[in-house]
Amino acid sequence: MSLEVQSLSVTLSGRPIVREASLSVAGGECVGLVGPNGAGKTSLLRAIVGAAPKVGGAISVGGVSLVDLKPKERARRIAYLPQDHHLEWALGARDVVALGRTPYLGAFGARTAQCDSVIDASMKSVHVDALDGQPFSTLSGGEKARVLLARALAVCAPVLLADEPVAALDPYHQLQVMEILKSRAQAGDAVLVVLHDLNLAARFLDRVILMSDGRIIDDGPPHDVLTKDAMENVYKVTPLSGDADGETWLIPWRRLKSD
């Protein structure tokens, strides 16, 4: 199923944050949403999942408009992994992952056996099955990030939105999380991920959507979008880039002197 967003705008306290953004992510695609701080990436994701008020615009998944769906039905179609790792109570790791099944529970409903197998599979796919009953607060940053990713995967939605899932992770776990996201796309999901690490974006993503100042200014394969010009104009940095093992690497190298 594909995600379609048409001319979506977000305004916070009268200030336009996202302006007329249109994008689409097809099933099987792993797409990056990149841009400098304040470009409106997080607000765009939040508006798509209904966690921030949008003004105007239309969102559909698999051709069905989200406006026509009840909150639970919408939640079954789009999984959302927010940036922050804060958890309120001292829940165990498995209980956190189980929260991903919320859209399938009735008002007073209990979890079913099928639920348990989905939770098991989600935890296994991100290698946190050994953590099970560990209190979430005692986990390391990398473990927390993967437990929360497992939580998002447990929703079993055809669309996955992830907001900086590799921020605060060490290189090993950054690569691991990117591989997991990529494999979800290869399994048929539409994956849209906000990234600040442009090297990971260049290497792992099928397509990159570049945002600046609330607008989408470019959309295409990484090497077409993350050009030297774009880096200098949008990010105000000059990059270094090259090829290794048939893949492109890209490093922001020097800040442009402010004009």
Partner 1 sequence: MQIPYGFLTGGLFIAVLVAAFASLMIGPAAVGLGALWGVMTGGDVETAALIMREIRLPRTLLALMIGATLGLSGAAMQGFLRNPLAEPGVIGVSGAAALGAVLAIYTGLAATFALALPFLAIAGALGAVLILHLLAGSRSTLTLILAGVAISSLTGALIALALNLSPNPFAAYEIVFWMLGSLSDRSLTHVQLAAPFMVLGWALLAASANGLDALSLGEETAASLGVDLKRMRAFIVTGTALSVGAAVAVSGVIGFVGLVTPHLLRPVVGHKPGRLLLVSALGGALLLLLADILVRLITPGTELKLGVVTALIGAPFFLYLVLHLRLGGR
- Where along the sequence are the contacts to partner 1 (CB under 8 A)? 46, 49-51, 70-76, 78-80, 82, 84, 86-92, 95-96, 99-100, 102-103, 105, 107-109, 151, 155
Q: Taking the complex as a whole, how short is the minimal distance between the CB of residue 138 and partner 1, in angstroms?
A: 9
**Encoded tokens for 181:** 């996201």
**Closest CB to partner 1 among 64 and 105?**
105
Q: Taking the complex as a whole, how short is the minimal distance between the CB of residue 187 and partner 1, in angstroms?
A: 21
Q: Taking the complex as a whole, how short is the minimal distance between the CB of residue 159 and partner 1, in angstroms?
A: 11
**Distance linking the first and last C-alpha atoms of the chain:** 45
Q: Taking the complex as a whole, how short is the minimal distance between the CB of residue 75 and partner 1, in angstroms?
A: 3
Q: Taking the complex as a whole, how short is the minimal distance between the CB of residue 95 and partner 1, in angstroms?
A: 6
For residue 208, the 8-state DSSP code is E
**Closest CB to partner 1 among 97 and 225?**
97
Q: Which residues pair with 238 in a beta bridge?
A: 254
Q: Taking the complex as a whole, how short is the minimal distance between the CB of residue 253 and partner 1, in angstroms?
A: 35
| Antiparallel, parallel or unpaired: β 30-34 and 190-194 | parallel
**Closest CB to partner 1 among 8 and 225?**
8
Euclidean distance between CA atoms 177 and 171, whole angstroms: 10
Among 85, 87, 68, 66, CA closest to 77: 66
Question: How far apart, in Å, are the Cα atoms of 170 and each of 83, 162, 175?
Answer: 16, 18, 9
Task: Please state the φ and ψ torsions of residue 111, each to the nearest 5 degrees.
Answer: -75, 150
Q: Taking the complex as a whole, how short is the minimal distance between the CB of residue 56 and partner 1, in angstroms?
A: 20
Among 200, 106, 126, 122, CA closest to 157: 122
**Closest CB to partner 1 among 76 and 146?**
76
**Closest CB to partner 1 among 6 and 83?**
83
Listed in sequence order, the residues at least 6 apart from 256 whose beta carbon sits closer than 8 Å to its beta carbon are: 232, 236, 237, 238
**Closest CB to partner 1 among 95 and 129?**
95
**Closest CB to partner 1 among 151 and 173?**
151
Task: Please state the φ and ψ torsions of residue 42, each to the nearest 5 degrees.
Answer: -65, -40
- The answer to whether the CB of 197 falls within 8 A of the CB of 245 is no
